[in-house]
């Protein structure tokens, strides 16, 4: 699933290309990816509107139009890419059924569910193999957007003034979940998913099965810093591409080459050489180093 660094990478890639352009037309080939807010012809009301902003909250990408917000959540396998008619399309995907390792511009296929024609003739394409992604439409009013984020229980937002140690420590109060489960909870810190939760806990030297209620202040402070560190690293290297993630140009990220524990089961820890262990917490595969992240009561 694309996490904060992947969505931010897409946002940064799209922003200079989309800002100021008009949505000429929107075509949907599968209604399953539309939230109820975007059905019954709601998307057609966006036609003719100019794109003014492109922002992100957690894993949500928010396109600010003149009168509405068009919001994308990429789910497990969603991709948002630009297609330029002046460029030649590749003849086929490198892996036709999954789109893995996609690195060239491609024509829409059966997994491309939303086609947006832009004012300069290019297309913005939303492609989602598993169809867990969603498209939302809201009227452009700040209270509407805030209500949307509240309804989706989004917590602290990294890289904003709202992500500060005081509020982070407050968010820990009365938390009894195991640390891995807590980090996956979007109501705690928005945008962290399975990959970056594992990496943040390794960075902080904390065992993923420890209870949040048992952490000392110094350990909480380490985790606060570690979350930002691993997210910044993910953005710096263009996101993590194990499967379907590509940026707005259809290119893979490189952060998978910088991971310390995620996806490295039985491989030696890059810090101490101890084999990385994989377990399951909250039904999610969880990776850690038993030496660098000792289990304490």
pLDDT in tens, 120-170: 999 999 999 999 999 999 999 889 999 999 999 999 999 999 999 999 999
Of 47, 32, 35, 18, which Cα lies nearest the Cα of 72? 35
CA distance 205 to 153: 28
**pLDDT over 90 at 100, yes or no:** no
Let me know the angle formed at the C-alpha of 224 by 184 and 3, rounded to the nearest 5 degrees: 35
Instruction: Write out the two tokens for 214.
Output: 């048992």
The H or E element that residue 55 is part of is strand 51-57
Q: Which of 57, 59, 178, 180 is catalytic?
A: 59
Please tell me which residue in 15, 131, 284, 290 is annotated as part of the active site.
284
Ordered by start, the domain boundaries in the chain are 4-151, 165-288
Whether 8 is catalytic is no
Note the pLDDT of residue 96. 34
Angle at 122 between CA 96 and CA 136, to 5 degrees: 75
Given 3, 6, 8, 199, which residue is catalytic? 3
- Reply yes or no on whether the pLDDT at 178 is more than 80: yes
Tell me, which fold does domain 165-288 have in CATH?
Helicase, Ruva Protein; domain 3 (1.10.8)
139 is catalytic: no
- Residue whose pair of structure tokens reads 């396109």 in the numeric block: 63
Q: What are phi and psi of 102, to 5 degrees?
A: -65, 130
40: left (phi over 0), alpha (psi -120 to 50) or beta: left
The per-residue pLDDT for range 43-88, each reduced to its tens digit, is 999 999 999 999 999 999 999 999 999 999 999 999 998 998 888 8
Domain 4-151 matching CATH 3.40.30.10: the answer reads no
Q: What is the DSSP string of 192-225?
A: --HHHHHHHHHHHT--TTSBGGG--HHHHHHHHH
Mean pLDDT, rounded, for 225-249: 80
- Whether the domain at 4-151 and the domain at 165-288 fall into the same CATH topology: no
pLDDT for the residue 106: 78
Average pLDDT, whole number, for the chain? 91
Catalytic site includes residue 284: yes
91 in catalytic set: no
């Amino acid at each position: 699933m694309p996490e904060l660094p992947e969505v931010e990478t897409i946002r940064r890639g799209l922003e200079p290309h989309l800002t100021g352009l008009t949505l000429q037309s929107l075509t949907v080939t599968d209604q399953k990816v539309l939230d109820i807010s975007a059905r019954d012809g709601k998307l057609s009301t966006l036609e003719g509107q100019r794109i003014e902003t492109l922002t992100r909250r957690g894993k949500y990408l928010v396109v600010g139009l003149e009168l509405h917000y068009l919001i994308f959540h990429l789910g497990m396998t969603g991709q948002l890419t630009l297609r330029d008619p002046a460029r030649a399309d590749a003849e086929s995907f490198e892996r036709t059924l999954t789109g893995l390792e996609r690195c060239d511009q491609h024509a829409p296929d059966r997994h491309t569910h939303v086609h947006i024609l832009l004012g300069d003739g290019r297309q913005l394409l939303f492609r989602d193999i598993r169809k867990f992604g969603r498209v939302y439409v809201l009227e452009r009013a700040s209270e509407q957007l805030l209500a949307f984020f509240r309804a989706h229980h989004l917590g602290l937002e990294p890289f904003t003034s709202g992500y500060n140690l005081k509020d982070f420590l407050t968010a820990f109060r009365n938390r009894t979940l195991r640390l891995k489960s807590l980090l996956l909870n979007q109501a705690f810190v928005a945008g962290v998913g399975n990959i970056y939760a594992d990496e943040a806990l390794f960075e902080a030297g904390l065992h993923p099965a420890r209870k949040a209620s048992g952490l000392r202040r110094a350990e909480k402070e380490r985790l606060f810093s570690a979350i930002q560190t691993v997210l910044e690293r993910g953005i710096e290297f263009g996101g993590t591409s194990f499967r379907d993630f590509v940026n707005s140009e259809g290119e893979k990220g490189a952060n998978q080459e910088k991971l310390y524990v995620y996806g490295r089961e039985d491989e030696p820890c890059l810090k101490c050489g101890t084999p990385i262990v994989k377990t399951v917490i909250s039904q999610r595969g969880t990776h850690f180093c038993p030496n660098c992240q000792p289990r304490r009561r």
